[in-house]
Structure 1
Amino acid sequence: MAISLSKGQKVDLTKTNPGLTKVIVGLGWDTNKYDGGKDFDLDTSVFLLGENGKVGSDSDFVFYNNTTGGNGSVVHTGDNRTGEGSGDDEQISVALTQVPAGTQRIAFAITIHEAEERNQNFGQVSNAYVRIVNAATNEELVRFDLGEDFSIETALVVGEMYRHNGEWKFNAIGSGFQGGLAALATNFGLQVG
């Protein structure tokens, strides 16, 4: 039975699930009806962060144009351009035992593609969630529903996996950013532009 998290809550992954070596991080969302005439394209991105909370290089930023990072330990399974259908809209595979030692945290984010040009924000998105599934058993271990009503934000850090005393944990963050992916990337130490 999955543990349902609240914002700010932290939960252990590997300590309570001995033998857990690979997880699927599933992210999903629905878009509300709006008459802007443009499609919504939400994207998942992943930042592999060192002790300083920053990426070490561009290859530590995993998204639809760079689908593999961390020496192959983190893999984005592909861009869903519509968000339609049930279940996860996008998934990230993480081989926990293969994540490079220098990576202390893995942050998961959702951004709205061309949000400013299309006049879109997370106030027009509902039912956003992140969940962690044991890849070997397909069992959902953790789920965080972002129940908050974001209004002006165009990027969300939904959660992060991090190392603690040799074990992996998950932190439900649910923090919004204005400025979309560029602001998020800059926050995590990438040069944008």
Structure 2
Amino acid sequence: TRKALSKEVDPDKLPKVADKFYDRFLGLAQWVAAMRGVVGRDKYTREIQYKPTSEIGTRLAKQFCKLAMGIAIYHRKSTIDEDVYQMIVKVAKDTAPDRVEEVVKQMYMKTSETFASTNDISEWTKFPTGTLVNVLDDLRMLSIVRKDPSRRGYWALSKAMLRKMKPLKLYEKEEAWTGKKKGRKE
């Protein structure tokens, strides 16, 4: 590690970043910003105290790009490649609140565009139904999930969230492990 820190970096020889990775870093930043959105509630009444908000993600996109360059430099790569990008995906997922990320991951992996019941999502996430309903309601207010208008207690990822997630390859490793790309129209 000490060797890596003392190594001189020639600014003219920084790793190249392909446009597709710039776009993905921006998408990752927007995804994380949405996931870290805040719904301020009174702790006793659960009443919403102010309009739900999310950060913009510009700073995050720059930080993801800088981190990717640092990783590429450390590994002596001349360009940012898919391996470096997947390391940044791991960092991005780790910066999202764990309950929110788990709910979104399970919904994306198991149903993607179709509705799932609260009980099914509870089973997938291992979260108690009461906790899950609170998380899902917050995610609905942040436009991450939507309710089925014709069935009570059924949820799906919002179309906007799916559009953000599809090109990012967030759960590529998990899909490879399970051998599934269920419900996804590629």
Shorter-chain TM-score bucket reads under 0.3
Structure number with higher helix proportion: 2
- Based on CA coordinates, which of the two structures has the bigger radius of gyration? 2
More strand by share: 1
